[in-house]
Structure formats: C-alpha cells, structure tokens
Amino acid sequence: MLSIKTEYNIPRECFNDVIGLMKETNPAGNLIPSDLYRTKKLVSKLGLTATKIDCCINGCMLYYKDDAAEVTCHICNAPRFKQNSGKQRRPKKDVPYSRLFYLPIIPRLSDSYASMSSAGHMRWHKEKIKKMMFFLIHQMLKHENILIECILHFLLNPAT
Ligand SMILES: [Zn+2]
C-alpha cells in the first residue's frame, strides 16, 4: 500500500481514507493499520528504513558524506535548499529541491531470505542450476554411450 502511495503520489488524506475503508470492510479485529502514521510505524519495525540523501536539482551530485554540509552544487552552482519566504514567525527547516531515498540492499536481501514466502524464490537460481547441471551431464553421458555404441557397431561391422 505504501509503494502504491509513493508510485501514484497519493495525498495523505486519500491514503488515510482508503486504508480506513479497508480496515472497516474487513472482519472486526483485523490488524490493518488505520492511517498513514500507523502504517509507517508498522513498516519501520521491519527494519526497512530509508536513508534520505539530498541531491542537486539537476542531478549533478549528492550531498552525502564529505559533501553533506554543502549548500550549493559543485558542478552547476544550483542551490541545495528552497528559499524561505521569511514570513514565518519561527525559522522553517531547510527544504531541499531534490531528495532521494536510499534503501540499503543488505537488509532488504536478508528480509527476503527470512520470509517463508520469498525464501524459495531467493534460492531458486542456485537450486535449479544444480538440477540443470545434473540433467545436462546425464544427457551428455547418455548420448556419449549411444555414440560409443555406434562407433563400436561400425568398427565391428564395417560392411553395414
Ligand atoms: Zn548541479
């Protein structure tokens, strides 16, 4: 549900209405979260936290590691943050023009192996390759035996 929200840029209120409807229409006592806040809280327990990294609006660079404190792009000199209007009573938090969400691959892979439904898919390649190799070796030996029998037959009966 969260990936659909992100993919179609669904507003928070719409997400809350849809997931609220899902919760109401399912049998009482279901574990469906009632809103976006509770959904994100539930997902965060899975350990799939994203790292937010600011990036240049033109895609030139990331404000990451050594460049985390920079406020302008090294390549195109574009500003990192949007201008504050200055009308607010308290200073607003800096809002970057562009930001990416990085999901580290190791926790995602370990979660895929931990899940009973996806663990078989994760091992498929290794297990199938082994079975395929046995099948191919068996077929090669089988054909090799036929070939040897043909050669022996030809050598023993050159007239045929
Ligand atoms: Zn740039």
Query: Residues 119, 112: contact at Cβ < 8 Å?
Result: yes
Q: Distance from the CA of 95 to the center of ligand 1, in angstroms?
A: 16
Quote the domain boundaries for residue 78.
Answer: 51-102
Number of domains in the chain: 2
Beta bridge partners of 102: 51
In a domain, 140, yes or no: no
Q: What is the pLDDT at residue 98? A: 92
- For the record, the structure tokens of 52 come out as 């937010």
- 105-114 helix and 116-156 helix, angle to the nearest 10 degrees: 80
Q: Distance from the CA of 48 to the center of ligand 1, in angstroms?
A: 29
**Residues within 5 A (CB) of ion ligand 1:** 56, 58, 60, 73, 75-76, 78
pLDDT at position 61 over 80: yes
Q: Is 28 found in the same domain as 2?
A: yes
Q: What is the pLDDT at residue 130? A: 78
In a domain, 78, yes or no: yes
107/71: higher pLDDT:
71
Q: What is the pLDDT at residue 112? A: 82
What is the C-alpha separation between 125 and 133, in angstroms, rounded? 12
Q: Is 34 found in the same domain as 14?
A: yes
89/134: higher pLDDT:
134
49/20: higher pLDDT:
20
139: left (phi over 0), alpha (psi -120 to 50) or beta: alpha
Rounded to the nearest angstrom, the gap between the alpha carbon of residue 130 and the centroid of all alpha carbons in its chain is 27
Query: Residues 97, 71: contact at Cβ < 8 Å?
Result: no
Query: Residues 75, 61: contact at Cβ < 8 Å?
Result: yes
Does this model's pTM top 0.75? My answer is: no
Q: Distance from the CA of 67 to the center of ligand 1, in angstroms?
A: 13
In a domain, 142, yes or no: no
CB atoms near residue 17 (< 10 Å) = 13
Which span out of 9-13, 36-40, 77-81 was modeled with the highest average pLDDT?
A: 77-81
